[in-house]
Structures are given as structure tokens and as C-alpha cells.
Structure 1
Amino acid sequence: MMRCVGLLGLLLWAGILFGQVNAEDNSRANGLAVWLDVEGAIGPATHDYVKRGLAKAVEQQARVAIIRINTPGGLDVSMREIIQEIIASPIPVVGYVAPGGARAASAGTYILYATHVAAMAPATNLGAATPVKIGGFPQLPDAPDGKPGDEQTRQPRTQDAMTNKIINDAVAYIRGLAEMRGRNADWAELAVREGVSLTASEALKEKVIDLVAEDMDDLLARIDGRPVNVLGQEMSLSTQSLTLAHIEQDWRTRLLAIITDPNIAYILMLIGIYGLILEFANPGTIIAGVIGAISLLLALFAFQVLPVNYAGVALIFLGIVFMLAEALIPSFGALGIGGVVAFVIGSIMLIDTEIPGYGISIPLIVTFTLLSAGFFIFVLGMVLRARKRPVVSGSEELLHSMGEVVEDFEHEGWIRVHGELWRARAHTPLSSKQKVKVTAVDGLMLEVKPCLTDHTKER
């Protein structure tokens, strides 16, 4: 009986294993298409997600990778890194602006141009690819003769040299992508120079994209049999009956997205500074120093991949120093006000870009400015001033106190300190009524020495 049960169990497991193998074989026979979501502002986390997603698609032997795009733009460095991953991909990459209402603006347009097949869903748009100028201050237009102030003759100044360099570099870049994929390079240049945009139907008409698809299934059906060039080799897409699989962001990408958010990086930096200052002001706390060090290292990592203006960082540190100095040096508020102003200006300047989604929230700046001013000027100021006050209780209070000898003694005897009798020890003979000073406390024994008078000197 037991043998029969064992045999049946073995056959059952063999059947399950055989079914799994057949399912895997069928899946491999049908093929796999993976898709990734690029949503929101494009940054370092987006690049990490696309890079790892494409590597996973190759590992799973996917026939095609689809990047579904819905973005207002993002950082130029991250955009170029994503495009490099797409160009170097050994499997075809399809760019798909979806769902309805989505857009591929600014950096999204460049990425769509870089994909092997460009598609859009109805009611979507792309374009507005003019690069946002990073850094600098606005310049006032000058009069034709170079003399400012003449409102009648003043004309708008043409774009400065740096702006021209940025625009021309972006134009050359997107035209190169357009020529590589056989798309409309002239419109791509207009999208950069004039910031023009197109709807899905207009983009198809202008040969900016290859097709319009209602959804993923429609997209796979429409690209079937389409010729593409992958790493210099011509091939034809075979997307019929492919199994769609979504590659989601893992914990590493999500963590990177959190700490590279400018607001989070700003908070981490300030927590790090506060923690280290607390540790130095009160050594031995440990927890403040540990939290501060970890937060500051995470902030520095985020700043490494963000467009940080280091003049803003310097102003934030200067503001903190001024506010701390206000707590220690009586300046009638001058240092405190100057510190608050430097802190606010530095916080606004910290992230050196006007790209949507990559700025520090003004309410957050105001909140941390008030917290910093309160912390450094009032709280930390009171703590530091309290440490400088003389001790008024306990055995430490006896140090440097004045006393009077009760009766003559050579080495040990009695003295009166603060109206109390204490056993005292001295290295020189002392006489009754002589004034002494406490130099040390050893349990209930005081070390004393005679006070100097006009006629004696301490040797």
C-alpha cells in the first residue's frame, strides 16, 4: 500500500514538473515583449531603471523592449545616458507615448527619436525640446550704442554665446538621432529652436513617428514585420503572439528616486549638518552624530548626480555660521538677519536648473529657515551659554571657592566654606582665620592653598 502511494506521489510530481517545462517551452516559443514605464521628470533614477530594465530584457531573451513614455522632461545628463543605453541595446527598443493624455516633452522627445520604433497613442503630444538654460542670472538688454537707460532706443539683446552653444549642441544631437532612425530632422530642429509641439496624428503626418497605436496589443500587431536596424544589423520584427511582461522598479531604483529628489536631498543635508553640530556641541551623544553622518553622506551622493550650484551650498553654510555666531556674540541681530538671508538665498540657488520637478519647494525653504533660526539662535545659544555659567550645586561648585581656617594645622584640619565645616588638606601650615582657596575635591576631603595677599606671592 505504501509503495503504491509513493509511486502515485512520484508520478504526480513528475506531471507537475513536465507541465512547468511545457509552459516554459510554450512561453519561449511564443516569445516575450517587456515594457518599462518612464513617467515624471527624468533623472538619475530613471536612467538606472531603464539600464537595469533593458539588461533584464536581454537576460530574459525578450524579442522587443517597449518604453512607455509620459514625461515633462528632465536632466540632460540622464537623458543622454538613457539614449546611450537604447542605442547600445542588442534588442529592438520601441518608444511609445501613452496612455491618452500623456506627453513626451523636452527630454522625452529626444528619447523617442532614439528608439528603433517610435509610436504614440491618440490624444498625446511631443515636442517643446528647447533645452532649459542652467545657471546664471538674467541680463538686461542694452541700447545699440552700449549705453544703458535709453528706453527709446533700447533693443532686445540677441541670445548670448553660452545659450547659442547649448541650442546648437542640442540641435546637432537630435538631428543626429533623426538621421540615424530615418525621421524628420527638420522638425526636430524646430522643436529645439522654437519649442514647437505636435499631436500624435500630426507627428505621424510629419514623419516624426512611425505609427499611432491604441494600446499595447495594437502596438505589437502594428510593428510586426517592420524592419529595424539594431547595432548595424538589419532585422525584421516578429511580434505576433508575444507575451507582455512589465518590468517594475526594484527597491534600489525606488531608493535612488527618493534620495535624488531635490527636496529630500536638501532635508538630508540639513539633518546631517544639525546632527554633526549637536554631536560636537555635546560629545558623547553618538546617536546625533550617527544620524548626521549618514544623512550627510546620502545628501552628498544625491548632489553628485544633481545639478547643484555650489555657491548655494556655500551660502547655506555661511548662513548657518552667522546664525550660530548670533547665539554666541552679541551683534544686536545683525549676524542673525544676515544668516537668515544667506540661508534663504543659498537654498533657492542650491538646485541650478529650471526643469519642472527639479526644484526645492519654497514652503520647505521657509519652514527650514525658521527652524534653523530658532535652533541655532535660541536653542543652541541657550545650551552653549548655560555651559559657560559657573556650577552652583554639587561638589564641583566647591572648586575655586574661598574658605576660612577654623584652627591652626600643618597638614590636615578644618575649614569653613559657605558656612559649612569641611576637612581640608594643605601642603603648607595654615593658621586660624587665614583665607584659603579650594583647589580640588577628593570625596569629603578638600585640597586647599592659602590665598595670596599683598605681601605674599605664590611660588
Structure 2
Amino acid sequence: MKAGPAGKCYIESALRKRLLLTALALALPAAAAVSKVVAVDLDRVIHPITVDILSHAIEQAQREGAEILLVRLNTPGGLFEATRQIVEKILASPVPVVTFVTPSGGRAASAGFFILQAGDAAAMAAGTNTGAASPVLLGGEMDKVMREKVQSDAAAFMRSIVAKRGRNAALAEKAVLESRSFTDREALENKLIDLVVRDEADLLAQLDGREISRFDGRKLKLSLARPVVINYERSLREQILAAIADPNIALVLLVLGALGVYVEFSSPGLIAPGVIGGILVLLGLSALSVLPINWVGVALLVLAVILFILEAKFASHGILGAGGAIAMVLGALLLVESPVPEMRIRLPVAVGLALPFAIITSFLVTLVVRARMQKVATGVAGMVGEVGLAYTALSPAGKVFVHGEYWDAVSTEPVEAGAPVRVLEVRGLSLKVEPARQNTGG
């Protein structure tokens, strides 16, 4: 049975639709091959705010259905408790985490080595280094027993991470116990990491199709043929807290805040210096609160303020002011005790704060002291010691003309009209006066 013209058109139309559907079906896998990669930078000292940043990055990666979370590392280390929390979050992440030491010349030292080992895949760019993960007590020296306890705990923590990742647990432990450090090639050859790459693009290319083992033992094959990298954008809160986490910035905020509060106390009613100063002081203290504070440094800063005040009250020819500036510089340098240079206050910052603060504080204190030492020149109290004229004869009572006003007055001695008199005391609405004798030269 042959189909008529209408039947042929129907068949051709059906074939075209089927071909179109087939083409769409073939195109869908290509579109689905695009893989999202959320990337977050941990490029400063490891700090409590770093924990929040990583936690929010994991949440974003999960929310957007990312194939992996890429953690870019370039850190000298940091606080061990914050490091432990970061490692816990990486191990529990529902999204695979790839830790990557970058750029070339960067490092993942101390705390960074723990974070590097926590990744489902660990990679380093050529020319980077890692290791030196021996724990150090911030704010003091450890005795032998305490050091052994701390190192043993940190070493066990490292073994628990590395062994599950199938890496070299024995050598990783030496990075903790012996502060061993490794170049990118040494780390790869000794199975401390999985890849050494040229750059991020090379890393994603080598990860495509690679099978990784999650911390819970599950196997997962990565699909990164067409990766789209989405950089994690820090919130305003995270940007502010990350900035003031630097002890140098925290000290600047604290000093400026203290200066603002002092201005408000010395000149009540200005309001703005007190409000801004109070905010800056609280921000500075919040940043310094998590750092190891040396109380000798605090005492030197207090001594510096005392010396500035004394300089304004006593004529020391600048000796007290210079001593205050030196005490402030030393106090700033000793304020934070840390083996990590990035967590200490730098000399240029200490000097740059101490000198202007010394000059401004001494100037303000001098103004206040001088104002309080000046004789009152207004009101009733301001009339004592003033010289006027006897409007009438005083014997002893009469009237005087002082400060452009006529007053009832009582004199200690008889005074003729028109003679000068000096005010000794104000008694209600009358004055007690005496003759104002002029000194004559002989």
C-alpha cells in the first residue's frame, strides 16, 4: 500500500522531529559537561576568621553544585586551634576539596601543611614549598615535657589525616616532630602530595577523570572537562575582620581610638571623637584578644602614656616625652609574642605610631593643663584682683566702678573718690576692696 502526498508529508515531518530530538539529546551531555569549581583563597595567617571564610566557601560550593572546592594556599601558618577547625570542615565537606599551594614562590608552612594534607587531592605549583609544622607555644617557651605533649598530639592529628589519604604518614609526622620542610618535587616524590602542576589550568586538566578517595572511604571520579571557576567573594564582615586580624592594623586602630576617647574627655561635648574612638578601640581589642599578649608590652604602653602626661606638667626639656616615645615603641614591639613574623608588630609601624602619638598627646595635655592653670577671667570669681575706681569716698563704705559696673563696696582703709581700688572679695552684691597702691621707683 502506497502513501499519498499527505502521508509522505506526515512521514517526512515525523522524521525531521525525530532527528531534531536526537540532535538535542546528543547536545545535552555536552552542555552538562560544564563543571563548576568554587575557589577560595587562604593567603594570610590562619586565624579564627579564616574558619568562617572556608565554612562559607563550602556552603557556596554545595549550594551551586560545584564539582570541587579549590582551596588556594599561601600561608606562613597561624593559630593551631583555628587550623584544627579548618581541617575538620574540610574532612566533613560534602563537596570534594582540592588543596593547592600557589602561586610559584608561595608556601604552605606550619598550619598550612595540615590544611594541605586535609584535601581529597593535594597539589603544589612548581617552585613552592611546604612543611615545618612543628607546633610552637604562642606567648612563651615550653618546657621539655610540655613540648613533648604538644608535639605528640599534633603528630597524632597529622597521622590521622595523612593515613586516610594514602600518603606518607611517617614523613608527614617528621614535619611535625622535626620541622622538616619540602619542595614541591620532594613532596611529590615522597608521596606527601598528589600533583605538581604549572598553574591552576594545568591542575584542573590533570584532575579531570581522576579518581579520588573521600575521607569516609567513598571513591569518586572527577569530571572537569569544561571547568568554570567561581571565586568566593568575601562578605563585608569577613573583609573587615580579615583586615584587622593583622596585629599591626589592630594596634593602629587601638591607638587612634585611644586618642579619640582622650580628646572627648578633654573637650566634652564634641561627641564624634568619643564615638569614633570607642568603635576603633573595640575593633582593635577584638583583634588583639585572640593573639598572645605580652604583659610587659602592655606595661610599657601604659608607662608611655604616663610619661607623655608628665612631660606636659613638668619642664623636663623633652626627656619625659622622649622616654614616652621609646617606651611606646618597645611596648608595641613586645605587645604580641609569636614565632610567626606576620603575627608580630613591625618596627616601622611601631615607630610610625609612637612619634605622632607622642607629639599629639603631649600637645593636647599641655593645652588642658594650661587652661586649668589660667586664672578665671569671667563671672564673679573673675573680679577678684581687678582694679577699679572709687566712685565715692570710702570710709569705709561707698560705691566703686569695676568691670564697667557700679558696686557697693567696703574698704579696708579710707579711700578718696577717684582713687584706684583693688577687689579683695565678692560678698553677694557688694565688694571688699583696698587701696590699689602703685609701685614707685627710687
Task: Return the TM-score normalized by structure 2.
Answer: 0.78
Q: Which runs of 5+ in 1 are unaligned?
A: 1-22, 139-158, 441-445, 453-459
Q: Which residue of 2 aligns with 1:272?
A: 257
Q: Which residue of 2 aligns with 1:439?
A: 426
1:424 partner SS: strand
Q: Which residue of 1 aligns with 2:41?
A: 37
Within the candidate set 297, 307, 310, 1:312 is matched to 297
**Which whole-Å CA distance do the structure 2 matches of 1:314 and 1:249 have between them?**
40
Q: Which residue of 2 aligns with 1:17?
A: none
Q: Which residue of 2 aligns with 1:342?
A: 327
Stretch deviating more after TM superposition (120-129 or 293-302): 120-129
Within the candidate set 200, 210, 222, 1:216 is matched to 200
**Which whole-Å CA distance do the structure 2 matches of 1:191 and 1:421 have between them?**
88
| 1:273-292 → structure 2 map (5 Å cutoff) | 273-292=258-277
**Which whole-Å CA distance do the structure 1 matches of 2:326 and 2:275 have between them?**
29
Work out which of the two has the higher radius of gyration on C-alpha atoms and give 1 or 2.
2
Q: Which residue of 1 aligns with 2:156?
A: 172
For the pair 1:261 / 2:246, whether they are aligned, the reply is yes
Q: Which residue of 1 aligns with 2:80?
A: 76
**Which whole-Å CA distance do the structure 2 matches of 1:115 and 1:367 have between them?**
41
Note if contact 1:35-1:244 (Cα within 8 Å) is conserved in structure 2.
Answer: no
Cα deviation, residue 381, structure 1: 1.9
Q: Which residue of 1 aligns with 2:66?
A: 62
User: Cα RMSD over matched residues?
Assistant: 3.5
For the pair 1:197 / 2:201, whether they are aligned, the reply is no
Cα deviation, residue 306, structure 1: 3.0
Aligned-residue identity in percent: 37
For the pair 1:181 / 2:165, whether they are aligned, the reply is yes
| 1:82-108 residue CA offsets vs partner (Å, 9 max, x unmatched) | 212212211111112233333222221
Cα deviation, residue 334, structure 1: 6.9
Within the candidate set 423, 427, 430, 2:406 is matched to 423
Q: Which residue of 2 aligns with 1:154?
A: none
**Which whole-Å CA distance do the structure 2 matches of 1:84 and 1:331 have between them?**
59
Within the candidate set 435, 439, 448, 2:430 is matched to 448
**Which whole-Å CA distance do the structure 2 matches of 1:264 and 1:52 have between them?**
25
**Which whole-Å CA distance do the structure 2 matches of 1:188 and 1:423 have between them?**
96
Q: Go from structure 1 to structure 2 and tell me whether the alpha carbon gap of 1:39 and 1:436 turns closer, same or farther (over 3 Å shift).
A: closer
| 1:347-362 → structure 2 map (5 Å cutoff) | 347-362=332-347
Note if contact 1:327-1:377 (Cα within 8 Å) is conserved in structure 2.
Answer: yes
Note if contact 1:93-1:117 (Cα within 8 Å) is conserved in structure 2.
Answer: yes
**Which whole-Å CA distance do the structure 1 matches of 2:96 and 2:320 have between them?**
61
Cα deviation, residue 111, structure 1: 0.5
Task: Return the TM-score normalized by structure 1.
Answer: 0.76
Q: Go from structure 1 to structure 2 and tell me whether the alpha carbon gap of 1:322 and 1:60 turns closer, same or farther (over 3 Å shift).
A: same
**Which whole-Å CA distance do the structure 1 matches of 2:275 and 2:159 have between them?**
50
2:343 partner SS: coil
Instruction: Give 2:348's aligned amino acid.
Output: P
Q: Go from structure 1 to structure 2 and tell me whether the alpha carbon gap of 1:311 and 1:169 turns closer, same or farther (over 3 Å shift).
A: farther
**Which whole-Å CA distance do the structure 2 matches of 1:24 and 1:172 have between them?**
48
Q: Which runs of 5+ in 2 are unaligned?
A: 1-26, 416-420, 435-442
Q: Which residue of 2 aligns with 1:100?
A: 104
| 1:67-146 → structure 2 map (5 Å cutoff) | 67-136=71-140
Cα deviation, residue 128, structure 1: 1.9
Q: Go from structure 1 to structure 2 and tell me whether the alpha carbon gap of 1:30 and 1:337 turns closer, same or farther (over 3 Å shift).
A: closer
Stretch deviating more after TM superposition (376-385 or 63-72): 376-385
Aligned residue pairs total 400
For the pair 1:52 / 2:28, whether they are aligned, the reply is no
1:100 partner SS: coil
Q: Go from structure 1 to structure 2 and tell me whether the alpha carbon gap of 1:320 and 1:398 turns closer, same or farther (over 3 Å shift).
A: closer
Stretch deviating more after TM superposition (287-296 or 247-256): 247-256
Cα deviation, residue 431, structure 1: 9.8
**Which whole-Å CA distance do the structure 1 matches of 2:230 and 2:398 have between them?**
89
**Which whole-Å CA distance do the structure 1 matches of 2:312 and 2:390 have between them?**
43
**Which whole-Å CA distance do the structure 2 matches of 1:317 and 1:57 have between them?**
48
**Which whole-Å CA distance do the structure 2 matches of 1:34 and 1:421 have between them?**
82
Note if contact 1:405-1:435 (Cα within 8 Å) is conserved in structure 2.
Answer: no
Note if contact 2:425-2:432 (Cα within 8 Å) is conserved in structure 1.
Answer: no
Note if contact 1:69-1:98 (Cα within 8 Å) is conserved in structure 2.
Answer: yes
Q: Which residue of 2 aligns with 1:301?
A: 286
Cα deviation, residue 302, structure 1: 1.1
Instruction: Give 1:47's aligned amino acid.
Output: V
Q: Go from structure 1 to structure 2 and tell me whether the alpha carbon gap of 1:124 and 1:372 turns closer, same or farther (over 3 Å shift).
A: closer
